[in-house]
Amino acid sequence: MPQGQPLVVPQDGLTTRQRRNRPLVVVHTGAMKGKSTAAFGLALRGWAQGWDIGVFQFVKSAKWKVGEENAFRALGRVHDETGEGGPVEWHKMGEGWSWSRKQGSDDDHAAAAAEGWLEIKRRLETERHDVYVLDEFTYPMKWGWVDVDDVVKTLVERPGHQHVIITGRDADLRLIEAADLVMETGKIKHPMDAGQKGQRGIEW
Amino acid sequence: MPQGQPLVVPQDGLTTRQRRNRPLVVVHTGAMKGKSTAAFGLALRGWAQGWDIGVFQFVKSAKWKVGEENAFRALGRVHDETGEGGPVEWHKMGEGWSWSRKQGSDDDHAAAAAEGWLEIKRRLETERHDVYVLDEFTYPMKWGWVDVDDVVKTLVERPGHQHVIITGRDADLRLIEAADLVMETGKIKHPMDAGQKGQRGIEW
């Protein structure tokens, strides 16, 4: 597909190259499945660019994303062994964050989510990754476990060239306002309409 | 995310397990970008299941998908070397199909597209792959380079347990009718609206 041309060239004092290479906040939202799938597809492309990928899963039980996790861990090993692509870190709240001393005991989901966000904030400050996937991060925002204004301010003011991809339903309007790209996956037709349940390899 | 429950249990004589494991025809269509990204995200999950992945790119110049191609080729090597995940084949029309003697000289796009479809048809008959990604395949259908009724009949009657994912704009209504899952990616907000052109690692 061709890249397309923007309809308007903004008067922001930036060159086309500066504007083109602006780091993005991407939100995949909407009621349908496919949000995380699309986000991981984007991260895959970043990996191939040699970008450093950090995935943070904000769900208690992360069993549904085990396919993506295995694939990205394999890609991370490819990088470590051959130098191809970028390094990959995959962290999940469900088992206690890997950097946390409280591993395996995060019964307090609100505290665990807040701890996850604090770590991401630290990493954004030190420009640790090139691409951050904050999977299902809209939920802790929705439930008040992390402060939406803090998230938005941190994203807007993050230094360097760090892309941040956030998935989940019901993205807060302040996040949508701050994002550069908001994608919504819609269904035209779904096998569940025909009485079919989810299946391994397709739905998880 | 929970799997959800179908609203209706069909009277089709199948058990839940049989119905659940039915192979799918998935179409990613719509005017926005993100169709292929989502399709490759789905293929990534299939790879992690150990499924055999066959990608067929129906575009003259395949330069925009080089990130996905590199990542999937790396995953294919992981499989070949360690047995993890599934095997991967990546074929593109742009350079002449890899199985074709006419490699590098497919100036006749219509003939090249028809040849690609013929090979996919052969592979479906012999159950060569578990997942087929027919990237941008809606265009040769739209332009009459392949016969839509033949495609639909072949997909509907394909043997075994083969998933087929088709991407591209303007999917034919007969294909949508025959598909099990049709996803449309919609934009809420896009950086091109703010005068930003596509960038490496994000758009291609």
ipTM of the complex: 0.76
Give the mean model confidence (pLDDT) for residues A174-183.
90
Across B127-138, b (16+ Cβ under 10 Å) vs e yields: eebbbbbbbbbb
Q: Which chain A residues touch B5 with a CB distance below 8 Å?
A: 197
Of the ranges A41-45, A160-164, B10-14, which one carries the lowest mean pLDDT score?
B10-14
Q: Chain A partners of B70 at a C-beta cutoff of 8 Å? A: 48, 84-85
Average pLDDT of B40-51? 93
pLDDT band at B203 (very low <50, low <70, confident <90, very high): low
Q: How many whole angstroms separate alpha carbon B87 and alpha carbon B50?
A: 8
Return the pLDDT at B1. Answer: 37
- Give pLDDT tens digits for B75-113: 999 999 999 999 999 999 877 888 876 655 556 889 999
Residues 86-105 of A with CB under 8 A from B: none
Determine whether the interchain pair A46/B136 forms a contact, defined as Cβ–Cβ distance below 8 Å.
no
Which residue, chain included where needed, has tokens 């996803």?
B183
Phi, psi angles (nearest 5°) of residue A184: -125, 125
Cβ contacts of B66 on chain A, cutoff 8 Å: 48
Cα separation of B106 and B60, whole Å? Answer: 9
Beta strands in chain B (DSSP E): 25-29, 53-57, 88-92, 131-135, 163-167, 181-189
Q: Is the pLDDT of residue B63 over 90?
A: no
pLDDT in tens, B106-132: 568 899 999 999 999 999 999 999 999
* Greater pLDDT, A41 or B155: B155
Q: How many other C-beta atoms lie within 10 A of the C-beta of residue B89?
A: 18
Q: Which of A91-103 are b and which e, b meaning 16 or more Cβ less than 10 Å from the residue's Cβ?
A: bbbbbbbeebeee
Q: Decide if pLDDT at A2 tops 50.
A: no
CATH topology for A22-173? Rossmann fold (3.40.50)
Which carries the bigger pLDDT value, residue A197 or residue A90?
A90
- What is the chain A residue with the closest CA to B63? A1
Six-digit token string for B69: 């191609």
A121 contact partners, CB below 8 Å, separation of at least 6: A154
CA-nearest of B33, B186, B13, B8 to A30 is: B186
Q: Which CATH architecture has domain B23-185?
A: 3-Layer(aba) Sandwich (3.40)
Confidence of residue A116 (pLDDT cuts 50, 70, 90): very high
CB contact under 8 A, B183 and A186: yes
**Angle ∠(A163,A166,A169) on CA atoms, nearest 5:** 160
% of chain A with per-residue pLDDT over 90: 55
Confidence of residue B20 (pLDDT cuts 50, 70, 90): low
Residue of A nearest to B47 (CA): A71
Q: Measured between alpha carbons, how far is A83 from A29 in angstroms, rounded to an integer?
A: 33
* β-strands A88-92, B131-135 pairing: unpaired
Query: Which residues 6+ apart lie within 8 Å of B15 measured at CB?
Result: none
Find out whether B130 and B86 touch, Cβ atoms under 8 Å: yes
Q: Give every CB contact of residue A96 below 8 A, 6+ residues apart in sequence.
A: A102, A103, A104, A105, A106, A112
Query: Residue A7: pLDDT band by 50, 70, 90 thresholds?
Result: low
Reported as type and span, the H/E element at residue A27 is strand A25-29
Q: What is the mean predicted confidence (pLDDT) over B33-51? A: 89
Residue A1 confidence class, pLDDT cut points 50, 70, 90: very low
- Does residue A132 have a pLDDT over 90? yes
Q: Which of B36, B193, B201 sits opposite A51 (nearest CB)?
A: B201
Domain boundaries along the sequence of chain A: 22-173
